[in-house]
Amino acid sequence: MIAITMTVNNRPEYLRQVLNALLKCTIPIDQEYILLPSVEPPVDEIRHILESIKLPHCLPYYHSTRQGCNKNTYHAINRGFNFSDKVIHLEDDLLPFEDFLMFNTRLLEQYKYDEDTMAIGSWNDPNKSSYDCNLILRKILFCSWGVATWKNSWLKFQQKFLDISTTTQPAWDTALGIYFQQNKWYSIIPNVNRVRNIGRLNGTYMTPAGWDNIGVRPGSQDEIKKMYTYKE
- What is the per-residue pLDDT for 184? 97
- What is the per-residue pLDDT for 56? 79
Domain residue spans of the chain: 2-225
Candidate from 27-31, 123-127, 174-178, 223-227 with smallest mean pLDDT: 223-227
Burial class (CB in 10 A: 0-12, 13-18, 19+), 216: middle
- What is the per-residue pLDDT for 206? 46
Q: Give the span between the Cα atoms of 134 and 192, in whole angstroms.
A: 8
> In the Cβ-directed half-sphere of 153, how many Cα atoms lie within 13 Å?
27
pLDDT above 50: residue 141: yes
Candidate from 35-39, 41-45, 204-208, 223-227 with smallest mean pLDDT: 223-227
pLDDT above 70: residue 2: yes
Compute the mean pLDDT over every residue in the chain, rounded to the nearest whole number.
Answer: 86
- Top pLDDT among 98 and 209 is at 98
Partners of 186 in the β-ladder: 117
- What is the per-residue pLDDT for 162? 95
- What is the per-residue pLDDT for 164? 92
pTM: 0.88
Strand (E) positions, the chain? 2-8, 33-39, 61-62, 86-91, 94-96, 117-120, 136-139, 148-150, 186-190, 195-197
Task: State the Cα torsion 114-115-119-122 to the nearest 10°.
Answer: -30
CATH superfamily placement of domain 2-225 = Spore Coat Polysaccharide Biosynthesis Protein SpsA; Chain A (3.90.550.10)
- What is the per-residue pLDDT for 127? 63
